[in-house]
Homo-oligomer: A and B are copies of this chain.
Amino acid sequence: MPQDKKKTPRPRAETPKGFRDYFGADVTERKAMLDRIAAIYHLHGFEPLETSAIESVEALGKFLPDVDRPNAGVFAWQEEDVPGGGRGDWLALRYDLTAPLARVAAQFRNDLPSPYRRYAMGPVWRNEKPGPGRFRQFYQCDADTVGSASVAADAELCAMLADALEAVGIARGDYIVRINNRKVLNGVLEAANIRPDQADDVLRQIDKLDKVGADGVRQLLTVGRKDDSGAMIEGVGLDDTQTQPLLAFMTSKGADNAETLANLRAAVGASKIGAEGVDELAQIADMLSALGVGEDRAVIDPSVVRGLGYYTGPVFEAELTFEILDDKGRKRQFGSVAGGGRYDGLVERFTGQKVPATGVSIGVDRLLAALRAKGLSGSDTRGPVVVTVMDRERMADYHAMAAELRDTGIRAEVYLGNPKNFGNQLKYADKRNAPVAVIQGGDEAARGVVQIKDLILGARLAAEVSHEEWKSQPAQTEAPREDLVAAVREMLARW
């Protein structure tokens, strides 16, 4: 239906709520980071996979069309009804990169190599209430190995994660990959006689170790604890013989992997699943060592609790350990930028068959923020050389100058706005962050020369000196027309 111009008011030019636009360096910096990560994944034998943004709601799984609003959490809609009867399918935008992997692994299970190592990078969508810094479209960057039950796959992911962090510029010593194992926790829960229905609650309390300390957690696990406001937090109701293995687990991190593993063996006691978990961690430690990844880069650390509820075997988390200043100028650790682990049932929903899988996901926005905070995002945010237009009739001459510069690899453009007001051209060059402007009026053309203006120096002088002084400064030089490229190149090399 064509728009009725008389009735329809002008549409609002607004990014929809919860979404954002990325301009210039926003795009190139993220791309450069993801390219470096992809190169590391490729080197490790991982293959890219790009599924479409849209999946059937049925395949996505968590969200079913038999409720009133199937799009809780996802953006979903129903296809048109099928001609001749039958309701249309429900489709939805993917909310992560794992659900599409599950669908692909099931659909192409006879064609894909097994194990299947794949990486995926791209936007995902969440139909959630937007908030400050919380967007409804954001990037994920995942690597998964589907079809391998061996912890060699987990060790490889941890090593690859460390390599990827260094590839994007995080220095050794500024990050640590911490590794734990759900099976060890299960062993400890067994050793502590924790009922299955208590497990989640126990996990939640253990996760507060950082905040309330070991004794605080012991109180929370037993009789309860007064919080800072004086309010009483109810305890889980365990007795001291039960808390003992839990506290041993929480505090089992030793001076090195060997000591940690010994402490963990003690903590799991006679539990078989616990012993299996410790063995797996020992194997991972050996393999990391063989992969050339020292304990300064990836280390066994039982304090990694986040994700333990979801994963079924090894879990890992990458943390940036350097300090940055938060919004209020206070120093704080940057924190987690990636996590992953082993999970079951990836393909099972589709085929009924259990397929072991392990994967890692890098928080793209957080890692990019970290690189920016450290001045490592690395993209050249300088604009192009701007060839200004003094004489509208000589556009071809100006185009030729820009083409000559580009032919030698120098980013350059001709001013394409209305050239009447020269001040506007310089304002434009400033907005473009142009380092150099090229100027040739009729007089210069007659003399066969060009003026080359150093806009970076110009801006500095302008900030420091008066307008009159600035005009006489050497931020502008004259060069013969045939020396244009050399003169610009020399000026660009100043900065």
Binding site for B on A (CB under 8 A): 1, 3, 8, 10-16, 19-24, 26-28, 42-45, 47-56, 58-59, 61-62, 64, 66-67, 69, 71, 75-77, 80, 89, 91, 93, 103-104, 106-108, 113-115, 117, 123, 125, 136-137, 145, 147-150, 152-153, 155-156, 159, 283, 286-287, 289-292, 349-352, 383-384, 386, 395-397, 399-400, 402-403, 406-407, 409, 411-414, 416-418, 428, 431-432
Contacts and interface: CB of A to CB of B under 8 A. Distances in A.
A396 B286 contact: yes
Contact of A47 (B8, B23, B56): B23
B407 A292 contact: yes
A402 B49 CA distance: 23
Nearest to A135: B52
B22 A49 contact: yes
A350 B290 contact: no
B414 A152 contact: yes
A45 B412 contact: yes
Contact of A21 (B15, B59, B104): B104
29 contacts: A10-B352, A11-B61, A13-B103, A13-B107, A14-B103, A16-B55, A21-B50, A21-B51, A21-B104, A23-B47, A24-B49, A27-B50, A42-B411, A44-B384, A44-B406, A44-B412, A45-B432, A53-B93, A69-B80, A115-B416, A148-B416, A148-B417, A153-B416, A156-B416, A286-B396, A287-B399, A290-B397, A290-B399, A291-B400
Ranked nearest first, the 9 interchain pairs of A and B with the lowest CB-CB distance are A45-B413, A13-B106, A290-B396, A45-B384, A148-B416, A77-B77, A19-B52, A27-B48, A13-B107
A23 to B, nearest CB: 6
Contact of A403 (B152, B292, B413): B292
Contacts of A287: 395-396, 399
B352 A52 contact: no
A10 B351 CA distance: 7
Nearest to A31: B48
A114 B89 CA distance: 45
A52 to B, nearest CB: 4
